[in-house]
């Protein structure tokens, strides 16, 4: 009797193997748990997602001209983003509200800054100006106008050098003299610092921290090779901007005519999407909100 049952089970197993190989495989993989013989389980036998190679994380960015980690500008150079002082800089702020910060570098410049201020004032928005100390001393009236209109002033060094080429003493001089120039005009020490062209190292970070300033980078730039006209500049910013972004543009040193022409379009388009413009400090204070 027992022998007959044994042979019967062996015959059943053989028939399963021949006619229903998937059911046999399922029986083995489930360890004999309650599964109907001949029925293929809807659950995958293996978690294929777990064995697939994961794509690499988005690599923050640096290139020979500009650093913009966590940005939308597609720069890429090695692994500087892994260094602790790069990660401690502010590139964007996680917020739920539809707010962005407009930051403006390299001024003041009498060729472009007055027009930028007029556009901001006409649209009832405020921005953060990262000013070069030497230019601020040359045009203090423009600094006063920026402040009187409700804008924020940040430190962009004294003479706009590439800080990576300087000694620790020279870096300290550039940061300190830039801050001193601003304080001599405004009566206030700047709390924000942006390194020229986005380049900085541990020495720079330490000096800025000792100066009680915060390193501020950016998320996206108005000036970009993919956008050679004011209209394309505005379209690119409008397409890519998300809440908490820090937008970078310039009002000094080089020819900024296209940037100035793009600014009112950018403001109009982002406002049409429901965005509000705030200063960088205001944006950081809204973290998580």
Residue ranges per structural domain of the chain: 2-51, 80-285
Find out whether 70 and 92 touch, Cβ atoms under 8 Å: yes
Q: Is the pLDDT of residue 24 over 60?
A: no
Q: State the pTM of this model.
A: 0.73
Q: With H, G, I as helix, E, B as strand and everything else as coil, classify residue 288.
A: coil
Please tell me the predicted confidence (pLDDT) of residue 72: 52
**Confidence label for 265 from pLDDT (cuts 50, 70 and 90):** very high
Most confidently modeled of 2-11, 70-79, 117-126? 117-126
**pLDDT tens figures, 45-67:** 333 333 333 322 332 333 323 33
Spacing of C-alpha 32 from chain mean position:
52
Q: Is 81 exposed, middle or buried (0-12, 13-18, 19+ CB in 10 A)?
A: middle
**With contact defined as beta carbons under 8 Å apart, do 127 and 102 qualify?**
yes
141-152: burial string, b at 16+ Cβ within 10 Å, e else: ebbebbbeeebb
Band the pLDDT of 97: cuts 50, 70, 90. Answer: very high
Q: Contact 258/289 with Cβ under 8 angstroms?
A: no
- As annotated, the active-site residues are 105, 250
Q: Which pLDDT score is estimated for 288?
A: 87
CA distance linking residue 66 with residue 44, whole number of Å = 47
What pLDDT score was predicted for residue 1? 55
Query: What is the distance, to the nearest Å, from the Cα of residue 65 to the centroid of all Cα atoms in its chain?
Result: 17
Instruction: Say which residue, 268 or 38, is predicted with more confidence.
Output: 268
Residue closest to 233 by CA, chosen among 243, 245, 218, 248? 248
Q: Which CATH class for the 80-285 domain?
A: alpha beta
Task: Give residue-wise pLDDT tens across range 137-167.
Answer: 999 999 999 999 999 999 999 999 999 999 9
Residues of 252-288 as b/e, b for ≥16 C-beta within 10 angstroms? beeebebbbbbbbbbbebbeeeebebbbbbbbbebee
Dist CA 263 CA 113 (whole Å) = 12
Q: What is the mean pLDDT of the chain?
A: 80
Q: Are 16 and 23 in contact (CB under 8 A)?
A: yes
The gap from C-alpha 190 to its chain's centroid, in whole angstroms, comes to 22
Angle between helices 113-122 and 140-148 (to 10 degrees): 10
Closest CA to 103 of 125, 118, 72: 125
Which residues, 6 or more positions from 276, have their beta carbon under 8 angstroms from its beta carbon? 97, 98, 99, 100, 125
Closest by CA position to 211, among listed 231, 229, 191, 234: 191
Spatial separation of the C-alpha atoms in residues 136 and 111, rounded to whole Å: 14
Low-confidence winner among 108-122, 204-218, 256-270 (lowest mean pLDDT): 204-218
For residue 200, the model assigns a pLDDT of 85
Three-class secondary structure of residue 150 per DSSP = coil
């Amino acid at each position: 009797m027992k022998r007959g049952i044994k042979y019967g089970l062996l015959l059943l197993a053989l028939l399963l193997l021949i006619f229903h190989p998937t059911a046999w495989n399922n029986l083995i993989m489930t360890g004999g748990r309650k599964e109907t013989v001949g029925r293929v389980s809807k659950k995958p036998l293996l978690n294929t997602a777990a064995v697939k190679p994961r794509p690499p994380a988005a690599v923050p960015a640096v290139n020979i001209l500009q650093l913009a980690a966590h940005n939308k500008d597609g720069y890429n150079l090695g692994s500087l983003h892994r260094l602790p002082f790069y990660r401690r800089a502010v590139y964007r702020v996680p917020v739920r509200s539809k707010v962005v910060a407009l930051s403006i570098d390299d001024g003041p410049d009498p060729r472009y800054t007055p027009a930028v201020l007029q556009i901001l004032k006409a649209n009832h928005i405020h921005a953060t100006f990262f000013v070069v100390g030497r230019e601020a001393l040359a045009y203090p009236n423009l600094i006063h106008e920026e402040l009187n209109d409700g804008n924020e002033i940040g430190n962009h060094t004294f003479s706009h050098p590439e800080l990576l080429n300087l000694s620790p003493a020279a870096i300290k001089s550039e940061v300190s003299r830039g801050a001193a120039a601003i304080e001599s005009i405004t009566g206030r020490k700047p709390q924000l610092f942006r390194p020229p062209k986005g380049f900085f190292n541990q020495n720079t970070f330490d000096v800025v921290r000792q100066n009680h300033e915060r390193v501020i980078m950016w998320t996206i730039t108005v000036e970009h090779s993919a956008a050679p006209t004011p209209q394309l500049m505005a379209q690119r910013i409008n397409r890519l901007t998300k809440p908490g972004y820090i937008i970078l543009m310039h009002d000094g040193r080089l020819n900024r005519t296209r940037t100035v022409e793009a600014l009112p379009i950018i403001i109009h388009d982002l406002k049409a999407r429901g965005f509000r413009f705030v200063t960088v400090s205001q944006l950081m204070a809204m973290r998580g909100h």
